[in-house]
Amino acid sequence: MNAKILGDLGAPLVALRTLSVDQPHLPAPCVSLSTVFPERLDLSFHNDLGAFEAWREALGLDPLNVAHHVQGDGRTCVLTVHADYAGAALHLTGFGTLPAVEEARSRAEVPA
């Protein structure tokens, strides 16, 4: 079902409000709602896997449920975990630069 009115986004909006009250100390995420997936709340963390982990831990999400993959020609680590939260389908995504790539990039920038 596609959302037609703001009320159709009620579940993720309630979840977002609940999170803002229950977890105000957590790092601010990039927040996304979609009329295509009106039950879903996406929270993403760019270049901050620590923020992803803080949220995962605060929400009590099992680390064994975190999926990991690499994108961007092997340069970017992507972590994802999904859970139901306050009636919404919560999706957490964390993006970070892989350390070996960052180290190689730093070496390449140092003149010989």
**Which residue is listed with tokens 């309630």?**
14
Alpha helical stretches, state H, 1-112: 10-22, 49-58, 99-109
> Residue 75 has what pLDDT?
83
> Residue 8 has what pLDDT?
94
47 CB neighbour count, 10 Å cutoff: 11
| pLDDT-wise least confident of 5-9, 90-94, 99-103 | 99-103
**Which residue is listed with tokens 């995420």?**
29
Question: Which DSSP symbol is given to 37?
Answer: S
The pLDDT tens digits for 23-75 are 999 999 999 999 999 999 999 999 899 999 999 999 999 999 999 999 877 78
Q: Which two tokens stand for residue 71?
A: 């994108």
Greater pLDDT, 18 or 102: 18
> Residue 104 has what pLDDT?
55
Residue 14, pLDDT above cutoff 80: yes
Q: Could you give the 3-state DSSP secondary structure of residue 91?
A: strand
Q: Could you give the 3-state DSSP secondary structure of residue 79?
A: strand
**pTM attached to this predicted model:** 0.83
For residue 109, what pLDDT band results from cuts at 50, 70 and 90?
low
Mean pLDDT of the chain, nearest integer: 89
Question: Which DSSP symbol is given to 28?
Answer: P
- Cα separation, 105 vs 60, in Å, equals 35
Residue 107, pLDDT above cutoff 80: no
Q: Which of 88, 92, 93, 65 is nearest to 78 (CA)?
A: 93
Helix (H) or strand (E) holding 111: none
